[in-house]
């Protein structure tokens, strides 16, 4: 919901380290893949009950998610980079709550399944809109430099990461946090489907 408002601040903070990394031959794709690996390790940490380590991995994953874009703006964006960026984000978004399910299946399995299902709803609406928007040559005014069309909603990157951090800080509250965020993500999906229905009418 507030990702677009945070973009200018993120770019100011990450442009200098992005330029430094690019000057030393680091490629954006390498950072994207490394960030995903760190995120998956954070999910494993959550599954083992190492919630502080999971929180640290979450922070590093998000840092990598910002740095890959900063490097790409220096070296030049690519279609492969845009594909990897969004695809591996969805891998991480599914894996991280799964770690909490595995940590305590009795308490967390059902709310975790509901949460991941809501991510499928919001994620498919997001990606389906992006595919048709690209076909029509549409651009997102709030995200002019993104590799694909970004359709906002109630639950975007900032809100998702904030809730993931709450999972780590208050793991016993995972069920209620998961149910609450699942409702918001599902509503986001419904709103996006409605937006597609209106935007792509014959």
pLDDT tens across 79-111, in order? 899 899 999 999 999 999 999 999 999 999 999
Number of structural domains, the chain? 1
Per-residue confidence (pLDDT) for residue 140, from 0 to 100: 67
Vertex 69 angle, CA 99 and 25, to 5°: 105
Range 76-79 contact pairs with CB under 8 angstroms and sequence separation of 24 or more: 77/28, 77/145, 77/147, 78/28, 78/29, 79/147
Convert the pLDDT of each residue in 111-169 to its tens digit. 999 999 999 999 999 899 888 888 887 776 666 666 666 677 778 888 999 999 999 99
What is the span of the domain harbouring residue 124? Answer: 3-199
Q: Are 75 and 31 in contact (CB under 8 A)?
A: no
The CATH number that applies at residue 132 is 1.20.120.1760
Residue 187 pLDDT class (50, 70, 90 cuts)? very high
Distance CA 64, CA 47 (A): 22
Q: Which two tokens stand for residue 53?
A: 């380590």
Q: How far apart are CA 46 and CA 95, in angstroms?
A: 10
């Amino acid at each position: 919901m507030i990702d677009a408002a945070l973009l200018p601040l993120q770019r100011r903070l990450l442009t200098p380290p992005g330029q430094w990394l690019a000057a030393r031959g680091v490629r954006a794709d390498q950072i994207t893949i490394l960030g995903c690996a760190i995120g998956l390790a954070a999910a494993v940490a959550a599954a083992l009950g190492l919630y502080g380590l999971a929180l640290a991995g979450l922070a590093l994953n998000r840092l990598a998610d910002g740095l890959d874009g900063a490097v790409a703006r220096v070296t030049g964006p690519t279609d492969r980079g845009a594909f990897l960026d969004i695809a591996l984000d969805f891998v991480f978004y599914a894996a991280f709550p799964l770690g909490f399910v595995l940590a305590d299946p009795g308490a967390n399995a059902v709310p975790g399944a509901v949460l991941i299902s809501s991510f499928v709803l919001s994620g498919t609406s997001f990606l389906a809109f992006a595919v048709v928007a690209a076909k029509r040559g549409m651009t997102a005014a709030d995200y002019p430099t993104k590799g694909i069309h970004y359709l906002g909603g109630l639950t975007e990157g900032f809100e998702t990461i904030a809730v993931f951090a709450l999972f780590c800080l208050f793991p016993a509250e995972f069920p209620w946090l998961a149910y609450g965020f699942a409702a918001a993500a599902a509503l986001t999906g419904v709103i996006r489907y409605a937006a597609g229905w209106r935007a792509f009418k014959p």
